[in-house]
C-alpha cells in the first residue's frame, strides 16, 4: 500500500469535571487526510485546504507528530501529507489533535501497523506539544481509541477506554472568537481549595460510574466543573445563558469544550441534541457574533480508514 485516505474526527476534552484527563470522540465532524509514501526521506506537508496553516514540517502538528513516530521506529521511508481541514483551528474541538493523530495513524497503517493505536498516542502528543506547549492526551486519546477515554497517566500511557452509552449525543456551538489554549491555561490557579477538589473528584468518579452504568441521571448530576469553568467562562460571551438554555432544552449538562471558545452539551438522544443546538443558535443570534454549530453522535472507533491503494 502506498496511499491512504483517513477521517480524523473532532473531539471534546475535559467534559466538565475531567480537566486534562477526560475526552470523547465525535462522529460526523472531522478532517480528511491523505498520506502517501514518498521517495524523499522525512515528511512533507504538500497541501492544506480549508485553513491557513504552515506547510513547514517543523511548524505543523501533523509533521511533528509524524516525525516523532519515524524517529522512534528508525524508519527511512518518506511520506507526503495532504490535510483537508473541516475543524477550524482554535475552535476547542481538537483541530490539532485530529491532524496529529491522523498523521501517525496514516503513516502507521502504510508501514503495516507496527504500533497499536494506544501506542500511537505518545507520538500524537508531540503535535499537541507544538500547538499548546503541553504534550497532553485528552484529545488525541479519544481520536485514536474512540468513545470516551480517561488519561490516568500520560507518561506511562496509562489510558483507559471507557464505556460509551449508545444514546449519548453532543451539541457544540463554536463562537467565532479566538481563545488561545496558552491564554486559557494562564488564567488557571495553581492551587485549589480542598473543598472544591473533593467536589471535583466526586463528580469525576460519578461520571465514569454513570457511563458504565448508563445512568443518564447520574451523568447529568456529574457534569459540573467547580474549578476550571468558573474562571475560563469569562472568556466566552453569553456562557451562562448557554448553560441555562441547554438545560431547559433537555440537555444532561454542558460546559466548555477543551479550552474554548466552543461550548458543548450532552443529551440523551439525537433528537434532544438537535433541540439543544437550536437553543444555542437562538441565544447566539442575538449577540451578533458569528458561530458554527455541530450535532453528533459519538464515534466508537476513532480514526477511520476511508480508502487505500
Residue positions annotated with a catalytic role = 128, 181
Closest CA to 84 of 105, 117, 53: 53
3-state SS, 8-24, equals EEEEEECCCCCCCCEEE
Tell me which residue of 41, 133, 28 sits closest to 80, measured CA to CA.
Answer: 41
- The answer to whether 296 and 170 have CB atoms below 8 angstroms apart is yes
Given a contact cutoff of 8 angstroms between Cβ atoms, the answer to whether 175 and 219 are in contact is: no
Cross-strand pairs, 265 = 171, 254
Ranges of H-type helices in 78-178: 95-110, 117-132, 140-145
How far does the chain reach from its first CA to its final CA, in angstroms? Answer: 5
CA 136 from chain centre, in angstroms, equals: 11
* Residues facing residue 184 across a β-bridge: none
| Helix, strand, or coil (residue 105) | helix
Q: CB-hemisphere CA count at 13 Å for 139?
A: 32
How far is it, in rounded angstroms, from Cα 164 to Cα 147? 6
> What span, in angstroms and rounded, lies between the C-alpha atoms of 102 and 7?
8
CA neighbor of 208 nearest in space, from 196, 197, 218: 218
Distance CA 139, CA 304 (A): 16
Amino acid at each position: 500500500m502506498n496511499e491512504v485516505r483517513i477521517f480524523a474526527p473532532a473531539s471534546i476534552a475535559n467534559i466538565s469535571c475531567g480537566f486534562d484527563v477526560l475526552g470523547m470522540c465525535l462522529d460526523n465532524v472531522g478532517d480528511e487526510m491523505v498520506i502517501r509514501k514518498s521517495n524523499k526521506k522525512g515528511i512533507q506537508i504538500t497541501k492544506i485546504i480549508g485553513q491557513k496553516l504552515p506547510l513547514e514540517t517543523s511548524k505543523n502538528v501533523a509533521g511533528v507528530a509524524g516525525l516523532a513516530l519515524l524517529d522512534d521506529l528508525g524508519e527511512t521511508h518518506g511520506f507526503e501529507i495532504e490535510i483537508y481541514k473541516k475543524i477550524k483551528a482554535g475552535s476547542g474541538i481538537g483541530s490539532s489533535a485530529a491532524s496529529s493523530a491522523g498523521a501517525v495513524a496514516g503513516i502507521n497503517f502504510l508501514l503495516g501497523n507496527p504500533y497499536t493505536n494506544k501506542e500511537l498516542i505518545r507520538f500524537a502528543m508531540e503535535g499537541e506539544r507544538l500547538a499548546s506547549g503541553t504534550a497532553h492526551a485528552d484529545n488525541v486519546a479519544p481520536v485514536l481509541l474512540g468513545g470516551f477515554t480517561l488519561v490516568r497517566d500520560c507518561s506511562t500511557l496509562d489510558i483507559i477506554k471507557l464505556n460509551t452509552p449508545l444514546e449519548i449525543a453532543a451539541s457544540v456551538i463554536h463562537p467565532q472568537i479566538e481563545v488561545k489554549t496558552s491564554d486559557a491555561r494562564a488564567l488557571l490557579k495553581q492551587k485549589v481549595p480542598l473543598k472544591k477538589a473533593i467536589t471535583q473528584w466526586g463528580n469525576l468518579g460519578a461520571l465514569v460510574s454513570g457511563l458504565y452504568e448508563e445512568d443518564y441521571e447520574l451523568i447529568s448530576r456529574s457534569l459540573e466543573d467547580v474549578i476550571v469553568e468558573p474562571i475560563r467562562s469569562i472568556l466566552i460571551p453569553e456562557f451562562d445563558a448557554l448553560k441555562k438554555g441547554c438545560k431547559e432544552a433537555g440537555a444532561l449538562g454542558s460546559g466548555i469544550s477543551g479550552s474554548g471558545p466552543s461550548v458543548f452539551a450532552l443529551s440523551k438522544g439525537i433528537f434532544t441534541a438537535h433541540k439543544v443546538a437550536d437553543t444555542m443558535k437562538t441565544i447566539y443570534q442575538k449577540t451578533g457574533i458569528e458561530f458554527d454549530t455541530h450535532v453528533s453522535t459519538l464515534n466508537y472507533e476513532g480514526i477511520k480508514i476511508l480508502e487505500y491503494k
